[in-house]
Amino acid sequence: MKRRTVMTSLISLALTAGISPAHATQTKEGTWAKLRTYGTPPSARSVPSTAAVGRHVYVFGGVHDSFSSGENTFLNDVHRLDTTTGRWTAIQPQGVQPPPRAWADSAPYGHSFLIFGGSRYNPAGTELEVFNDLWSFDTVYRRWREIRPANAGPSGRSGATVWVGGGRLYVFGGVDATFTALNDLWAYDFGRNSWALLSTNSAAGAPPPRHIASSGTKPVNGKLVIYGGEGVSGGSFSMLADTWEFDLLRKTWKEITPATGNLEPPHNYTASGVIGNRFYLHGGDIPGGQAGCGAPFDQNPTDDIWSFDLNAHTWRRHQPQAQPARLKRHSGTVVSGRMYINSGWDFQCADGVGPGQVWNLDTYVFTP
């Protein structure tokens, strides 16, 4: 009787989320499921900007950076996923739109979502064009609006980390057009329409400079939390494995990397989100792997999922019975206590033979 009750509850949960019960896996470590979707999903792409507004997930832009063709196609389209029905809709925005880009971070604000910064670059990765513009997309009227602050704010950058909370947008780090990593922290006040610098580049006690740090989209317990990212020095890139928090009241940084039991190995290019008092991180690259099949550098995507207790400051690796595909440069968005995974790609190349990039066109859902 108990087994039947548990199975019935699982099937009910899956159907409510638009998830096929045949693809749902339930354990005490959480549930992974592939969402049964309809409509017009986003095309294959890396590092789009995503945000949750109500029950919807919005996906903006990104880049189709194809190893096989050697070309980068930057995008500025908008797609919406209804997490209740599983339907994708291609939105046709009104008015002026942001230029195409990738590596712009995003966060929700009321019935809108915001994007800041981002970049375009040549296939060799030697020329980088960065943005420092701030845009708002009104999901009711389906209209973009460029926000023009009254004073100068963050410099142009790619791969910054952003949060929204308490009437402010926070922007941390990124990499500039000279491939110099940054670690400054800014706050944009919506009411005053102005920027304020909270922590300068190379400030004492701040995290080392980086871009593409993993985070949630809002402060938790009055703190901004980041994990890892990528350091840049002399044209070389290094994975970081530290965890930091910024106290918004005291305006101070503090490293909270566990002395033991840290996330190992380091993970980069992940999908992440905060559910309750835990910060979840899925997939990304880990050290090792190989190039070939058109890839200019080593690739080693994983399907791991970890969570960080924001109170106890401890990492935990989850062990569901099944995982979604190995993915990197994908996105994570939290709606109603579930993390939705979109976009990105796996890499398969055995001894120089294989498809190379395997683009992800599916949507996966993780429920703790």
Is the Cα dihedral 352, 353, 356, 362 positive or negative? negative
Is-cis flag, bond preceding 154, omega within 30? no
Across 18-27, 94-103, 176-185, 353-362, least confident range:
18-27
d(CA 324, CA 290): 21
pLDDT at 23 over 80: no
- Domains with residue ranges and CATH for the chain: 2-367 (2.120.10.80)
- pLDDT category at 6 given cuts 50, 70, 90 is very low
Distance between CA 45 and CA 53 in Å, rounded?
Answer: 21
Backbone phi, psi, residue 311, to 5°:
-95, -50
Over pLDDT 70: what percentage of the chain?
92
Query: Which residue type occupies 180?
Result: T
Stretch 42-52: mean pLDDT = 98
pLDDT of 136 strictly over 60: yes
Give dist(CA 119, CA 178) in Å, integer.
Answer: 12
How would residue 10 be classed by pLDDT, with cut points 50, 70 and 90? very low
Amino acid 28: pLDDT? 58
Q: Which of 6-20, 55-69, 76-90 has the lowest mean pLDDT?
A: 6-20
Residue with tokens 């590596």: 103
Neighbours of 187 (CB within 10 A): 20
The Cα–Cα gap between 97 and 63 comes to 16
Residues 149-181 pLDDT 10s:
999 999 999 999 999 999 999 999 999 999 999
Q: What is the pLDDT of residues 288-313, one digit of tens each?
A: 998 899 998 899 999 999 999 999 99
* CB-count burial class (<10 Å; 0-12, 13-18, 19+) for 362: middle
* Single pTM value for the model: 0.92
Q: What is the average pLDDT value for the chain, to the nearest integer?
A: 91
Count other Cβ atoms within 10 Å, centred on residue 324.
Answer: 24
